[in-house]
Amino acid sequence: MYTMSLFMTLARYYSDYGYYGTRSTSDHIGIYIVLYLAVIIIPLIAQINVSSTFKKYSKIGNSRGLTADQVARQILDSNGLHYVEIEHIKGNLSDHFDPRTNVVRLSDSVYGQTSVAAIGVAAHECGHACQHAESYGPILLRSKLVPVTNICSHLWYIVLIIGCVLSAFTIGTALIYVSIAMFAAVVIFQTVTLPVEFDASNRALKTLANDGILEPSEVPHAGKVLKAAALTYVASLLASVLQLFRLLLSTRRR
């Protein structure tokens, strides 16, 4: 996100000042600065929040002494997903479910840990496994969007810069609009991701409570961790929407 923002700043500087000439500092510079800072600060705050929340509840162990990987195995088996494997991976909060290989991967901060935070994260990833097994609509749509989104997320700002460099020609203007369309595809993907993440968290909390994995007093703690994690997706989407608005605002000035 920060690299993309840097490219965006260079591209916007060139298109706004490099080709059309110097503009009044009181024209749109204020709103550009606000949007630029928001794009950087909003996701950063969300990331700090999830890290601090996870750290806080990592100090609270579950009363049954279960490890996160044991809980993951229990949840998967109870849903008939005996074929889904659990792997230990390096990193911190890099946990994910890989539908291509049917593997739930748990990071160092989760695998083998007994905290309510780790168990909440593990249950969340099992929720994704259940979504795929049940052909949950939003996650199927998200999977179909992945190939296009991967291309657009890596290339949109490059196309934008090339378009700005060639802005004196018709092809340049066309490329700028293509780059905006590519970034819009990323925003759509992030929008589709939200219900997927919220549903996985809801599944996790219901399972932890209904199956008696966590005590009633422990479930809210896991819920706070999952809520903080979900807010990172909300923050990312909000930042992207602001970025898209900044792009559209710029084209309107042409």
Query: Per residue in 217-231, pLDDT tens?
Result: 999 999 999 999 999
What pLDDT does residue 254 have? 55
Stretch 107-135: mean pLDDT? 98
Residues 125 and 95 sit within 8 Å (Cβ to Cβ): yes
pLDDT band for 4, please (50, 70, 90 cuts): very low
pLDDT band for 27, please (50, 70, 90 cuts): low
Query: Per residue in 193-217, pLDDT tens?
Result: 999 999 999 999 999 999 999 999 9
Three-state DSSP state, 101: coil
Q: Is the pLDDT of residue 8 over 70?
A: no
Give the contacts of 52 (CB within 8 A, at least 6 positions apart).
none
Query: Per residue in 51-104, pLDDT tens?
Result: 999 999 999 999 999 999 999 999 999 999 999 999 999 999 999 999 999 999
What pLDDT does residue 28 have? 63
What pLDDT does residue 253 have? 58
Give the contacts of 67 (CB within 8 A, at least 6 positions apart).
111, 112, 113, 114, 118
Query: What is the average pLDDT score of the chain?
Result: 89
What pLDDT does residue 252 have? 67
What pLDDT does residue 49 have? 96
What pLDDT does residue 208 have? 97
Task: Name the residue among 127, 122, 124, 129 with its Cα closest to residue 99.
Answer: 129
| Other Cβ atoms closer than 10 A to 2 | 10
Look up 134 and say whether it is catalytic: no
pLDDT band for 236, please (50, 70, 90 cuts): very high
What pLDDT does residue 32 have? 73
Stretch 117-133: mean pLDDT? 98
**Cα–Cα distance for residue pair 225/51, rounded to 1 Å:** 9
* pTM (two decimals): 0.84
pLDDT band for 34, please (50, 70, 90 cuts): confident
What pLDDT does residue 15 have? 43
The single residue of 85, 87, 125, 197 carrying the catalytic annotation is 125
Residues 205 and 223 sit within 8 Å (Cβ to Cβ): yes
pLDDT band for 237, please (50, 70, 90 cuts): very high
pLDDT exceeding 70 applies to what percent of the chain?
88
Three-state DSSP state, 99: coil
Q: Is the pLDDT of residue 7 over 80?
A: no
Task: Name the residue among 193, 45, 56 with its Cα closest to residue 118.
Answer: 56
Task: Name the residue among 122, 140, 144, 121 with its Cα closest to residue 132.
Answer: 140
